[in-house]
A = this chain, B = another copy of it.
Amino acid sequence: MNIRGGKRKGAGRPKGSNLYGEPTQPVRIPKSQIERVLRFVQEREYALPLYASGVSAGFPSPADDYLEGALDLNAHLVREPTATFFVRARGESMIDAGIHDGDLLVVDRSVEATDGKVVIVSVNGELTVKRLRRDKGKSWLLPENPDYPPIALNEEDETHLWGVVTNVIHPL
C-alpha cells in the first residue's frame, strides 16, 4: 500500500470551486418552480435571444448570422430595482419624443436630471412627463408637441422631481 499525497495544506478540492464560486445552502422551493428557480439563479430564466435586423445572412444557418446574443429585459432596463419605477403616459404632449398615449415609461430615480433629460415631475399635484430645460438658473418643462405650451417652473409652484425616463415601452 503506497502512500500518495498526504494530509497537507492545499490538499483537496479548493473552496469556491463550485458553480457559483461561493457556498450554497438548501432552501425549500415549491416543486413546480424548481426548474424555473435554477434557471433564474443562473440568470437565464428570461435571457432570450436578440437578433439584429437590417443585416444580411448567408447559409446554412441564417438565424445564427443575425444573432447578437441573449438579453434579459429586467436586467437590461432596470439598473437598480430599488431606484426604478414605471409610469403610464397619458396624452400626446410628448409625441415627438416618441411617447404615445398609454406607453409605459421606465423611470430611474438615480439618474441625475440634467438639462435635456425627459423627466417625471409632479407640478401642483399632477404627475407629468416633460423634457427638462435648465438655463441660467431657470427651469422649464418642455412638451414635445407644437400644440402644447412650455411650462416655466416658478418658485411658488409645488414641484417634485420623481426621476428620469430611461426607456419608452410602446405596445403595437
Question: What is A's interface to B at a CB cutoff of 8 Å?
Answer: 20-34, 37-38, 40-41, 45-46, 48-58, 62, 66, 68, 71-74, 76-78, 81, 84-91, 97-98, 100, 104-106, 117-118, 120, 122, 125-129, 165-172
Contact = CB atoms under 8 A, between A and B. Distances in A.
Given A40-B37, A51-B85, A24 B20 contact: no
A28 B26 contact: yes
Given A24-B28, A167-B172, A53 B129 contact: yes
A40 B27 CA distance: 13
Copies of this chain assembled into the complex:
2
Given A23-B31, A48-B85, 16 more contacts: A24-B31, A45-B81, A46-B81, A49-B86, A50-B88, A51-B85, A51-B127, A53-B87, A53-B88, A53-B89, A53-B128, A54-B89, A56-B126, A68-B88, A97-B172, A167-B169
A127 B81 contact: no
A168 B166 contact: no
B86 A51 contact: yes
A76 B106 CA distance: 13
Nearest to A47: B81
Given A66-B127, A171-B166, A32 B37 contact: no
A46 B45 CA distance: 13
Nearest to A84: B48
B71 A74 contact: no
A60 to B, nearest CB: 12
Contact of A46 (B78, B127, B169): B78
